[in-house]
Structure formats: C-alpha cells, structure tokens
Amino acid sequence: MLYEKLDYVLAIAEEQNLTRAAKKLYISQPTLTMYLNRLEENLGVKLFDRKKNPITITPAGRRYIEKMTEISEEEQILRGELKSVQNPAQTFRIGSSRVRGHYCLPPLLRILSKQHPDMNFVISLGTERHLQRLLEKSSIDLAIGSLTEIPSSEVPLVIEPISTERILLVAHKKYGLVPEEEQEHNSPDHPYLLDPEKLQNLPFIAPPPANGMYRTFQRMIGLYGIHPKSSIVIDMMTTGLRLTKEGLGVQFISAAILISISALDRQNTLDYCILPDLPDSRPCSVAWREETEFLPLIHETVEILKNEVIPKQLYTQVTP
C-alpha cells in the first residue's frame, strides 16, 4: 500500500536529513534511502528535493503526506470500529490531538491499563476537527484537545474543560524581539509584551486551518495587519518549534510543548513574547457524546487527567 511505512516519510519531512531520520526510526540510512527511492519510483514523482541541504519537501511530497495521513486516519477509524464490533463492552476508544497524545496518553494509559487490565484501548490521533468527526460518527468514546475551538456540532456533545495552557509567541534570538535589557528576565514564565509592529516582514511558522492554534494566528494577522515575509505551514507544533529553534520563523505555541527541546535551548536560543489584546492562554477540554455507555470510565479518565497527568506538564494549570 502507498501509505505503508508512512512514518518513514514523516520522519524525513521532520528531520530534513536522511541520516537523522534513519536514526529516529532505528533503521540504517541505506535502508531508508532504498525505501524512499523505491517509493518515488513507484509514484513517478519526487517527494523530496535531495539536492538541497537541508532536504526540502516538494509540492508532490506535501500532497502525498496530506492524503496518506487522511487514509491512515481512516484506517485507524476502521480498526477501532472492527475492534468495537468484536468486543464492544471491553474496548475504550480515545482520540487526542497529536501533541497532547504524545505527552498525555502514555501516563494516562499506564494508569487505566493497571486499573482495567482486561480492557482494550484504541487510540486515534488527529486535529480537533478530525476528533469532532470521530465523535459524531461514534468512532471514539472520548476526545482530548482544544475542543472549545471546534465548530458547533449537530450531535449532542458534552465538553468539559480540564486545563489551561499558556500561549506564547516564540522566536529565535537572532530576530531581537526582546530588548537586551529584558533578556535576563525573559522566560516562558515572564514573557515580554511585544509591539506587534516588530513582527512586520518576519517569516512565520504557521498552523493550517484544522490546527487548534489557527484562530489565534489568524486573529493576530487581522488585528495588527501583519504581513509575513514568508511562511512555513505545518500541523505539528513540536516540529514547528524545532524550525523556530533553527531560526526559520516566528511561531505561536502552547508552552507545554517546550519540553520537546532541551532546557539549554529553551534558555539560550528562544525569546518569549505575548501580544496586547491577544489571549495568553487557551483551554484544553475533553468531550464525549451525551449518550454513551462509558460514562463511568470517562469520568474516571477525566479525574486521572486532572489529578495525575496534567499537574506534571509544563506551563499548564488544571481547571478546577
């Protein structure tokens, strides 16, 4: 299948280097190169421009990742539905945005699996709009994400806030957004109130429309009349943060993802800002259908998130 080993292509797109991507995938670089050569030959197009350093993704490569990700997500839905049909009473299906899934699901599932050793779990990752669609189709039982920002649904959903995440505008220090006299105190806990005019004609790492941070980004553009010099649109905030760390653009992030880079880079590489008249935080919620047979387990999961998972996350406060 075309989407077999999609993680190989995603790793190359993220790392922009075959050697680093192979290391991340725990395979050899020649094996990864051979796979990419064979895939591009079968497709008849180049997914990456390997003549450039770093490697850049081609328009065909971007379209391939977009479409194959959709197909992969549909496969996740089908697998979950088949599992539920086979054993519905013992299968709990959780959907999560990708970043939160990376940090929240391992400790959550460790606890749930211990407390319910006979329970099967099916995990689906995607954008907030994708999670809403899964809930509406009864393909998942519980969703975790910035769900207050999704459009209203015709299917009755219960949405409960569980945490508040700090929002920051981050930039490489080379852009000089934070004055030298403020550098000593600048941190995610003490962001600098930035004059929006300083953002004119800077490159941006921008979210796509389906991303939970898209509304904040668009509101900034419209409110201040910002004209970016250029933009790199990317769905994964953690990957965008790495691009920001390399000085490729300015990015809005949920501060919780700062754990994905080293403490040294957090301190020495990035500036942290907020903007007037823009929110400096956003809620994270859980959602489920009003009619569900898993209500006790959902309530248990919410309590685990609030009491044992969220308190250990950076720059995130539990909602009372």
| Environment class of 211 (CB within 10 Å of its CB; exposed 0-12, middle 13-18, buried 19+) | buried
Closest CA to 275 of 210, 206, 202, 221: 221
Distance CA(161)–CA(167), nearest Å, equals 16
Per-residue model confidence (pLDDT) at position 15: 86
Is 127:210 a contact under the CB 8 Å cutoff? yes
Per-residue model confidence (pLDDT) at position 302: 96
The radius of gyration of the chain from alpha carbons, rounded to an integer in Å, stands at 21
The model's pLDDT over 179-224, given as tens digits with 9 standing for 90+, comes to: 999 999 999 999 999 999 999 999 999 988 777 788 888 889 999 9
DSSP string, 45-88: S-SEETTSSS-EE-HHHHHHHHHHHHHHHHHHHHHHHHHHHHSG
Q: What's the first-to-final CA gap in the chain, in angstroms?
A: 47
CB atoms near residue 277 (< 10 Å): 9
Distance CA(90)–CA(137), nearest Å, equals 19
3-state SS class at 224:
helix
- All residue ranges of the chain with pLDDT < 50 are 1-3
Q: In the chain, which ranges are continuous DSSP H helix?
A: 6-15, 18-25, 29-43, 59-86, 98-115, 128-136, 214-224, 237-245, 263-268, 295-304
Per-residue model confidence (pLDDT) at position 150: 53
Per-residue model confidence (pLDDT) at position 1: 43
Distance CA(298)–CA(287), nearest Å, equals 9
The model's pLDDT over 166-178, given as tens digits with 9 standing for 90+, comes to: 999 999 999 999 9
Per-residue model confidence (pLDDT) at position 151: 53
